[in-house]
A and B are shown apart, each in its own frame.
Chain A
Amino acid sequence: MNKRGIEALVGLFVVLGLLGLLFLAMRAANLTTIGNHASYTVRAKFDNIGGLKARAPVRSAGVVVGRVTSITLDPKTYQGVVTMNIDQGFEFPADSSAKILTSGLLGDQYLGIEPGGSDKNLAPGDTIKQTQSAVVLENLIGQFLFNKAAEAGTEGAGAKK
């Protein structure tokens, strides 16, 4: 085969590789969901973030409106500080509340935003004041058992009288 033909075939090979890479990045991974639209940063403090992870979705009414970018611990209040990017197109009232929710019984945790009623909107860099921590199953079970024991205790005391 002549040299030009070989060069063309190699070019085709490399282009095929790039197309494959494009497919993997755009279609089979999440490149479309990051970077290509502008967003603003909002923070929220939680007493307990449960199993929330960076890159978890931020949803409002179930619709993905942004992503969690980082999670750190506030050294003064010992609260978890969740920083999230919300897409520029979505604006929320300044008194909106944030919750850590779970998709399905065993699913991933995500951050839910419930819009408030204020006239002003959340500005970039704002902190969401009203937050509800993640439900920790162990605490819930502990509370349930404690209540059961307390009930049994009062019943037992009643029977003695």
Chain B
Amino acid sequence: MIELLAIFGRFALRVLRSFGHSAFFFFDLLRHSPAALRRFSLVVTQIHAIGNLSLLIIVASGTAVGFVLALQLYYALIVYGAAESLGLIVNLSLVRELGPVVAALLFAGRAGTSLTAEIGLMKAGEQLAAMELMAIDPKSRVLAPRFLGGIVAMPILAILFSTVGILGAYIVAVKMIGIDAGNFWSIMQARVDVWRDVGNGIVKSAVFGVICTAVALYQGYETEATPEGVANATTRTVVIASLSVLAMDFILTALMFSTP
């Protein structure tokens, strides 16, 4: 009985400790970020690695999501003779929810894993320890530029995801199905607000960028310095980043869009 309680207590303590540990890590990252801004070329290299190289998968999935949304919504909306508001629904769902969330999930899979694996291997190869020996702080030289790069890249990727999604829906709805192009755009323009919908979507994606990159960096930095350790850390990055993005999305949606 006591043994059972002890297992439970150990588990709770471990969870609490990891929370505290990751919070300290996060504030350390924030503290080192201004230093990385001064060496901006490092950040630019990371934006390339994180952002540019994720472009293909983001654009491809965005177009596919736009295609499928348009096709499915058409079948449902034509029943009520409201097929023309298809553009509006596609736009709102992409800009408010799907753009930031799906882009963040893809980002965690595409860029987050590579960050974790890279830093995990650096740690396994004792490169980080070597840097510390040379009096270079690996947090400001290695982690902070990647952190900033992720924060810059994520909103841009989400914007592009929504943009190509809407264009994809336009192709299916107007070019293939034959919905009137004027109505497609004008209903959208009448009901979508720049600050409320587009602006909040961008705020969301920036928050997701912070979450995904911070989780990936933390998992990489705290990995066990073995091949299995790096493998586990990479898996955990995807799981934890995706779940936190989904949870955070619910909270942000409740805060941003609770009033109609």
Residues 16-56 of chain A, each 1 if its beta carbon lies under 8 Å from chain B, else 0: 11001101110111111100000000000000000000010
Contact A6 B48 (CB under 8 A): yes
Query: A28 with B189: in contact, given A3-B41, A6-B44, A13-B156 (CB under 8 Å)?
Result: yes
Give the secondary structure class of B's interface: helix
Interface band, chain B? 20 to 34
On chain A, the number of residues with a Cβ less than 8 Å from chain B's Cβ atoms is 24
Per the bound structure, the CA–CA distance linking A13 and B21 in Å amounts to 34
Question: What residues of chain B lie closer than 8 Å to A12, measured between beta carbons?
Answer: 52
Contact B52 A9 (CB under 8 A): yes
B135 at the interface (CB under 8 A from A): no
Query: A14 with B156: in contact, given A7-B44, A29-B189 (CB under 8 Å)?
Result: yes
B129 at the interface (CB under 8 A from A): no
- The distance from the CB of B15 to the nearest CB of chain A, in whole angstroms, is 38
Question: What residues of chain B lie closer than 8 Å to A7, measured between beta carbons?
Answer: 41, 44
Contact B189 A32 (CB under 8 A): yes
Residues 90-111 of chain A, each 1 if its beta carbon lies under 8 Å from chain B, else 0: 0000000000000000000000
Query: A21 with B159: in contact, given A7-B44, A30-B194 (CB under 8 Å)?
Result: yes
Question: What residues of chain A lie closer than 8 Å to B163, measured between beta carbons?
Answer: 20, 23-24
B112 at the interface (CB under 8 A from A): no
Question: What residues of chain A lie closer than 8 Å to B41, measured between beta carbons?
Answer: 3, 7
B226 at the interface (CB under 8 A from A): no
Query: A30 with B190: in contact, given A20-B160, A24-B163 (CB under 8 Å)?
Result: yes
Q: Which of B48, B91, B156 contacts A16 (CB 8 A)?
A: B156
Contact B44 A13 (CB under 8 A): no
Question: What residues of chain A lie closer than 8 Å to B198, measured between beta carbons?
Answer: 21, 24-25, 28-29
The A70-88 residues at the B interface (CB cut-off 8 A) are none
Residues 44-66 of chain B, each 1 if its beta carbon lies under 8 Å from chain A, else 0: 11011001100100000000000
Contact A55 B193 (CB under 8 A): yes
A10 at the interface (CB under 8 A from B): yes
Contact B166 A28 (CB under 8 A): yes
Question: What residues of chain B lie closer than 8 Å to A30, measured between beta carbons?
Answer: 189-190, 192-194
Chain A residue at smallest Cβ distance from B197: A29
Contact B47 A17 (CB under 8 A): no
The B156-200 residues at the A interface (CB cut-off 8 A) are 156-157, 159-160, 162-163, 166, 185, 188-190, 192-194, 197-198
Question: What residues of chain B lie closer than 8 Å to A6, measured between beta carbons?
Answer: 44-45, 48
Question: What residues of chain A lie closer than 8 Å to B153, measured between beta carbons?
Answer: 13
B120 at the interface (CB under 8 A from A): no
B100 at the interface (CB under 8 A from A): no
Most buried by B among A9, A25, A29: A29
Between A and B, 5 residue pairs with Cβ closer than 8 Å are: A14-B47, A16-B156, A17-B157, A24-B162, A24-B194
Residues of B within 8 A of A (CB): 41, 44-45, 47-48, 51-52, 55, 91, 95, 153, 155-157, 159-160, 162-163, 166, 185, 188-190, 192-194, 197-198, 202
User: In the complex, given contacts A24-B95, A24-B166, A28-B192, what are 6 additional A-B residue pairs having Cβ atoms less than 8 angstroms apart?
Assistant: A6-B48, A10-B44, A20-B159, A21-B198, A21-B202, A28-B91
